[in-house]
Structure 1
Amino acid sequence: MPFSSSSHNPAVQVVTKAGQPSRLFWRWWRKQSPSQQDRYATLGPLVSVLLFLAAIIAAFWYLRNEEIEREQEAVKRDTEVVQQQIRLRLIENQEQLLRLARDVSMRTVTPDQFMKQAADFVRARPEVISVSWVQADEQIRASQSTTGMLLEPGQGMDLDQFSRQLEAYNPQDTKESHSAFQLARQRSQPVYSQPYSNALATKVIQVHIPLIDRSGFVGTVVTEYALEAMMRYLVPREVAGRHAMALVRVDGETLTSTVGSHTERSAKPTFVHEVIVTPVGNGLILRGTGYRTSSNLIGNTLFWMVVALSALTVWTLMGTLRHMRRRAQIQKTLVQETNFRRAMENSMLTGMRTIDLEGRISYVNPAFCAMTGFSEEELLGCVPPYPYWPKDRIDEFNRMFQQELLGRSPMGGIEVVMQRRDGSQFDARMYVSPLIDAQGDQTGWMTSITNITEAKRVRDQLTAAHERFTTVLEGLDAAVSVMSVQRGELLFANRSYRLWFGGNPDAHAQLTGGELQPDYQGEADEAVDSFGGLPAQELTDAGSDSREVFLDTVQKWFDVRARYVQWTDGNLAQMLIATDITARKQAEEAAARQAEKSQFTSRLITMGEMASTVAHELNQPLAAISNYCSGMMSRVRSGNIDNEQLISALDKTSRQAQRAGQIIHRIRQFVKRSEPQRQPARVRDITDAVMELAMFEMKRRRVTLNAQIAPRLPTLMADPILIEQVLLNLLKNAAEAIDGAQMPQSRRHIDLRVQQRVLEGQGKVVEFAVLDSGPGMKEEMLARLFEAFHSTKAEGLGIGLSLCRSIIESHQGRIRAENIYNDSTVIGCSFTFTLPVDAGGTADFPDSLPPPSNDLLADNP
């Protein structure tokens, strides 16, 4: 019983171990999806074919390697056989030469006997060219040569010519022979030379057998081998028929070969084996070369047939796999599409309902159920009247249902009122389309229903808001209009626009500064971007900045603002808002006229204050004229005057009269009322006129005026009378400040400086500076100095400096005032104003004016 138990258990274990992988495989196989099982089932044959192809390739590769190794061994064996043949022949020849050399050394052989023995030696060995007896001084004592194996066809010489050349040939003339001779002398043993080409253009080597007697080295026996003859006679024919043999140098140069040089160059060797030629040495190598003489056509044909069949099988299996993948992908796509459509139907707010040709409901989506409040089970299979029809509109819904079954429902849908389960009603829009099956037959109707209760409420609110907005626009005093850029037609105009311009779209273009572009007036699609409805070319010049426009048709001024907007149809439009500013423009004109009057009044006041000084100044030339006239009359009566004295007196009288006339002309120009006029004005003319007028005030107040005017100043575009008024007012105020402060005579001076500068924010300007040495002003007064009706004088009106600032700012200039300090002490005041330089202005060159002096106007009595 124990024996039976022990024999049974191993069998159970074997079955278990053998069946376990199978059960694991089938368990894993059942876990795979059908698509994966199909994929594995298709990949199995493909893998088998690939493994079969790999085995065939491996077998061919193994057989080819075996063939290559056998060929390599054959080349090696033949090369070693040839090397052994050459070695044995050279050793045999060397022994014969040693016996000959011993006889020569013992002096038992005469030269004639040497020639006879050498001839027998050369005759029996075709590879030997010559045998020579060379003495210690390298002179040949006896030499025996053969011509039988040296003359080759095509060398261009006959046998007699070759014999004469051979008689003149000396084997000791080459450096290789000389080197071998020296080595034989040094080593006292046979030495082989390096391969070289002799005088007969034959590749040879030499063996030098030293001759040694009792006195020492007495020469050598030199034997010359022809390498080509050596390869021809020492290489067996069967070896030469199988493989090519060649003698080469160490550097790879081929000396001779059993095949022609053309064959050697055209065919690429497959197997090469090299051995050193012994006992020569000296870098002479025997190279055996094997070529593939058979293309193994049968083996290659079978191989490529197997490859072709395997490729065809793989291509078929790949096509089957691709087809199965395509089918699986189509099936997966259909499942995804079905799930997507179902998810889309379940998530959308639009209710979907399907009825058959008899009106029975066959499908409703969750949105339809949520919209009506009925479940899917309650609606499926229902026939008219449906439970969501209002009870009071059954007849109306029956008529619409009959139209629906006949396919006469409008394309834009129908607005209906539907009733929920709880009895409440809502507004909806219903769209109907036929339901077609795969064969093209109609099987029913698909109805989509959208709840538009909120949309109607928003639409009503938008309508009310639009009415309110239109009411506001209609009530505005400004003209509001919108014009299409593409079509050039007026899209909207409020009441004010219609009241002023009627329905004329030309007024819109006139207010924006020009007509719309002609390319935008047509219906051509090329001028409009098809995506955004925007013009493809540049827009008109009208922008969002305001501009003032005067229209002759209505005799009004308008403040116009325009911008581009996207109209309700998606196309580009131009909106314009024009505000009537006629009253404001009239007020501005009145203020300008009042300012002009104020400037004229200021000049009159200035000249009134200077009237006494002017009268005193005129008194001097008038008194001089009277004195000159009285003196001439008295001298004429007495007859004590000649013509030259009379002419001199009259000339002086004329100059005094011209002086008085110039004073009156300057005063008349200054106080003359005229419109402001910009014109090219020279800075020198302005300063000369002002200094001539200010001279009276300076003399009266005993103040010295120093002028420093830079040369080559540019011409200004300004009103010279207004600039003279500003400059004269500043000089007059400076003189009054000095005189009012009772300054000592050393500080009673004013500096006028005019120069060109470049300032940040203004560019190139001409700067006028009036610097006085008065008491200065308080800082709080400087802040309000240029305000209207603010004056530092008790009797002042406060309009002088305010007018000065207005005049300078109207010329795009700036004016400022500041105290002059010496450390912390105020020593005067500075008034500075700048005028911009015209870019096209020229330099202000004086014509006949004298250069300015530092003391132009002094206090003369």
Structure 2
Amino acid sequence: MIPVPPSQQPPVRSIADTPWWKRWWRRLPPSRQDRFATLGPLLAVLLFLSAIVVAIAYLRYEELEREREAVTRDVEYAQQRLRLRLLERQEQLMRLARDIGDKAIGPTEFQFQAESLVSQFPELLAISWVDNRRNVIATYASPSAPTRMLRLPGDTLAPDETDGSFDLARDLRQPIYSRPLGDDPRSASLMLQVPLTEQGRFAGTVMGEYVVDGLLRFGIPPEVMARYAVALVDDRQRVLAGNLQSTDAVLPFLPWSTQPQEHEVPVSPIGNSLVLKAQAYRTSLDTVGSGFFWVIGALSALTVWMLLGTWRHTRRRVQAQQALVAETNFRRAMENSMLTGMRALDMQGRITYVNPAFCSMTGWTEAELVGRTAPFPYWPEQDQDLLAARLEDELTGRSMPGGFEVRVRRRDGSIFDARMYVSPLIDPRGHQTGWMTSMTDITEPKRIREELSASYERFTTVLESLDSAVSVAPLGSDEMLFANRLYRQWFGPRGQGHRHLVELCGSQPAPAPDDGDAVDAFAGMPTDALTDAGPENAEVFVEELDRWLEVRTRYLTWVDGRLAQMAIASDITPRRRAEEQAAHQAERAQTASRLITMGEMASSVAHELNQPLTAISNYCNGMISRVKDQRINQDELLAALDKTARQAQRAGQVIQRIRAFVKKSEPNPMPSDVAQMVSNAIELADIELRRQQVRLTPYVAARLPRLVVDPILIEQVLINLLKNAGEAIQHAARPPGQRFIELRVGPRRLAEQDVVEFSVRDSGKGVPADMIERIYEAFYSTKSEGMGIGLKLCRSIVESHHGRMQVENIYNGEEVAGCCFSFWIPVHAKLRIEGPSTGAQAASLSDTERAR
């Protein structure tokens, strides 16, 4: 070797030059070193996770601060909008008060202007002119105002009715708002007292009454309502309008925090008695922050798990060995406790193993059976040849996969029936070492099967004598499991007739395709639920038999466990023919009803048509005269022709609407627009109502769903109810201010289904109490010219659309102030039309009347 110069040799480090922590590490035993080596990465992971939590909490805190500022800004903006709306109404009432003080208007003009304001601004329900003695000079209230706001000229306001606002307005001579009034917070109202002065003296007030819920719905901007849960609360923290989410105290710095932000301000100029409170919606969690937090946590947990996994590896190997011994003992115990007998044969047919269950069945012990060859001691003497042939088939692999039945002799000489299954015995290296046979005692199941067979024979005898066709078939198959005599007489022995009946009923699921790789169409079907389900009834017409059949179907589990369907078909042809004849009679009554209705309205319709026809005649005569005198230019001629065309179009629309109404047609259910049906009915009924000097006020909700109905029938019901309401008001001889009808159409939720409700309210004398129970009876009428079937057929039409109709009187105290007929139609219902007839049985409307 070439010696290395001393200058190039590495310096020799002494023990004193080694760092202290290395010396301490080397002195530790290996087990302790492994433990500390595991704790180091664990500590680093925990520190990293802590840093992530702090960072996410800080970002979350900043986000909450931004949300709080946004809520405060939007609530103050909503307060300003509501304040401006209140000030506008206040200015309008002050102008009205000035006109009264200047004697520019009287009670009649005041009522007209009050009606205009109430109709224009929904939150304003009533306006009253009150003198200095609290006497009501003139007033007007919205039709939707509560009873406590309905006042009449000459009424006197109680001191507690104004909550002191009348006295404050008298003393301060300036507009005063009252505190929220009403026992029910959801129907609370506000009063605004605007003082009246005549020559410097207090002469009373103009009192406006607001509904708090209307202030919220029409005074708060829609964009604020969309972002926040907004409510108006009083000084007692009662929610008067709107709704707020419940807030639970949570830590706002956690990434999964969902605490909403809220802010409240008093409503000016009302004051602290009414507070606007808003709460921000939190429609979703902070997905990014929470997801990032949980991903880091999951990765940290995974790292810890991997570090601990190595630590547990050695201990698991010891536990696996112990588990293997326990598993072997468990399998041995399970094998000894089996009730099925097990027998193993080698390739030469010698018994090599039997379990305790096999010994218990035959009565011989394991020592007596192991090593024996055929004939075995448990073979009956008379069956030895048969059993020897079966054993030969078993040893050569020709045994049946489904097993076979044999008779077995016990040691005491008794015989029992058994079923044996044979399978190859394969060792761990994949080589066959013999045959494994399992044996089950089937003596009792065989006896039960024989009894079931006898019961089936009795059952078949009963069904063969029925006068209804009974058939049972598996789902999606033409195979016939059972068919009685009448079914075979009608459809033959095959299953096409059964499947045709089921398809006509509409209760047959689509069968699975023939492709073996395709998914079974019946996979996952709830067999138990279908078995327990009640029967389904349907009436169908079978062209091959020229018969009407009532078919009842239900699902059942067949004796072999398959899901099957039973169909029972009864001949109802005579009954259907009688129903069709009655339906034709009802259809003719329907057309006659509409003709009678148009006949009663003939004078009003003639007057309605006379106006446009007269206008057309005047326009034409005027144009002829001016053309002859050459005093008309082209623009004036075109304008006159345009007016003439509009009047002709108006007359044509009236005639077309009448033709469509009285035209004889079959019920035609279709997706129909509710607003269009209401408009068509009003167009015809309003002609008669204008003649009777009755004001019709319709209220139709926006965005109503389309109904699957016959629009002509529904329009006929509405026209009948509106015409009856007008006749009731005419008969009651109401003054002009009280001759009104209110038609309301809107959505409702009844009995867990969505419906559209139609209600017609009038101001007549109502229905007498002794007639309410009989007004729907056929041929019951209080009119000398009535047929007495109008309301009966009205209700029939509604019920044919799966709806309901009802009537109730409207009371003002103890006095009857009118009547309300209402009916509703389900959104997803269809018109019931049975049979091939025109479907007039669904209901038709004839004489239109109401028992008053």
Q: Shorter chain as normaliser: what TM range?
A: 0.3 to 0.5
- Decide which structure has the larger Cα Rg and report it: 1
TM-score normalised by length of structure 1: 0.40
